[in-house]
Amino acid sequence: MRQDVSVEKAERASSLRASLMAAGAAIVAINAWAEWGGSDSPRPGGVALWVLLVLVWTAVLATGGGLALGKRMRALLNDELSLRNRARALAAGFYAMLAAALALYLFA
Amino acid sequence: MTESDFETAERLSRRRARMLPAMAVLFLSGQAIFAIGPDDPTRTVDQVKVAAWLVWALALLLLLATGGGAFRSKRVRALMDDEGTRAHRGRAYAVGFWVAIGTSVGIYALTAFDRVMPREAIHIIVTAAVAGALLTFGALERRAHRDG
Amino acid sequence: MAEGLSNRLHDLRTERGLTQAALAELVGVSRKTINTVENGVFVPSALLALKLARALGCPVEAIFSLED
């Protein structure tokens, strides 16, 4: 059935997205550590790359990704549960950002 | 006549919807004090300013996270924190997150032209994120209370 | 109106002579939540939808329906 194929494809794309986003988070963190973790000053190009990575991944978070896929596939990828998970991710991101910022403020 | 839990929750919820945006505006305008002269972390007056800002930001966040009504009964708190309110809070967090990202990118772009100290950048980002989240929550709550 | 969902909550509530506050108290939520559901601003959870149906004495489908 056509609908089942679509649901199966969306299921695979959703799993792939989950794995890619976890990898993306790790890459952003490793990149930040590589630039700021050592005693040397971060390279301007490295910082720009990190900013670019953050923007790309926040764009993926905002849109749910799969922009090249069809409307129906995107609707399946961004269903009610995904939207709820995204809202929880944004809340976690909000608090993680504030906690990191305040901790940095005290040590800056 | 004694007020029922429901009426208490309704009254406190309306007050919260009025107060939160006002508190956000006060919080934002209160930052003007940091524009007066250079910040010197060794001066007591500057340490007090920073501590006041931190405590203020944390108090507002606590208010946003809990919804207030800490000394009220469990039922009043549940009514003040029902699923409609939780949905508004979720949207407020999302706005706070995007405001933080937007402000950070803006400050990063600014560093190409001007020197921005880490503490200044963090101050601006946290203030904008907290105020953005509070204003959103307050606006959504006020809208929900209207036309009733 | 929330995408894809229409509701008759306002009509059913007024037919029963209930205010928003009275219905809110019956189901254990705030009046503003009832207001936002009626205005289609907020899509309630299945739990709240079932509580509303029980309070109004009608099936959930009588309150909420999918927009074609």
The rounded distance, in Å, linking the Cα atoms of A17 and A64 is: 8
Cβ(B131)–Cβ(B27) below 8 Å = yes
Q: What integer best gives the mean pLDDT of chain A? A: 86
pLDDT digits (tens, 9 = 90+) for C16-67: 999 999 999 999 999 999 999 999 999 999 999 999 999 999 999 999 999 8
Chain-centroid distance, C-alpha C68: 19
Contact between residue A95 and residue A35 where contact means Cβ atoms under 8 Å apart? no
Concatenated DSSP letters of B20-55: HHHHHHHHHHHGGGGGSS---TTSHHHHHHHHHHHH
**Residue in A50, A98, A102 to test binding to B, most B beta-carbons within 10 Å:** A98
> How many residues are recorded in chain C?
68
Residues of chain B with pLDDT under 50: none
**Per-residue pLDDT tens over the stretch B40-74:** 767 788 888 888 999 999 999 999 999 888 888 89
Q: Over the range B57-86, which residues count as b (16 or more CB within 10 Å of their CB) and which as e?
A: beebbebbeebbbeebeeebbbbbbbbbbe
The pLDDT value recorded for residue B85 is 95
> Nearest CA of chain A to the CA of B1: how many Å?
41
B95-104: b (≥16 Cβ within 10 Å) or e = bbbbbbbebb
Query: Cβ contact (<8 Å) for B148 and C28?
Result: no
Instruction: Find out whether A43 and A35 touch, Cβ atoms under 8 Å.
Output: yes
Higher pLDDT, A108 or A9: A9
Summarize pLDDT for C1-12 with one digit per residue, the tens: 446 889 999 999
Q: How far apart are CA A105 and CA B7, in angstroms?
A: 42
Average pLDDT of the residues in A32-49:
78
Q: Chains that contact B by 3+ CB pairs under 8 Å?
A: A, C
Only one residue has tokens 């959504």, namely B140
Positive or negative: CA dihedral B96, B98, B101, B106: negative
Report, as an integer, the average pLDDT of A40-54: 81
Predicted pLDDT at B148:
61
Please tell me the predicted confidence (pLDDT) of residue A9: 85
Is residue A2 pLDDT above 70, yes or no? no
Q: What is the DSSP string of chain A?
A: -HHHHHHHHHHHHHHHHHHHHHHHHHHHHHHHHHHHSSSSPPPHHHHHHHHHHHHHHHHHHHH-S-TTS-HHHHHHHT-HHHHHHHHHHHHHHHHHHHHHHHHHHHH-
Task: Pinpoint the alpha helices (H) of C1-68.
Answer: 9-15, 20-27, 31-38, 46-56, 60-63
Among A60, A105, A106, A107, the residue to mutate for chain B (most B Cβ within 10 A): A105
List all chains that touch chain C, counting a touch as 3 or more CB pairs closer than 8 Å: B
- B61 → closest Cβ in A51, A98, A108: A98
A31 has a pLDDT exceeding 90: no
CB of B93 less than 8 A from some CB of A: yes
- Report pLDDT for C3: 60
Task: Look at residue C1 in the predicted model and tell me its pLDDT.
Answer: 43
Write the single-letter amino acid at A58: T
pLDDT band (50, 70, 90) for residue A82: very high
A84, burial (CB in 10 Å: exposed 0-12, middle 13-18, buried 19+): exposed
Q: What are the tokens at B87?
A: 């949905």
Contact call for residues A35 and A51 (beta carbons, < 8 A)? no
Residue-level pLDDT at C28: 93
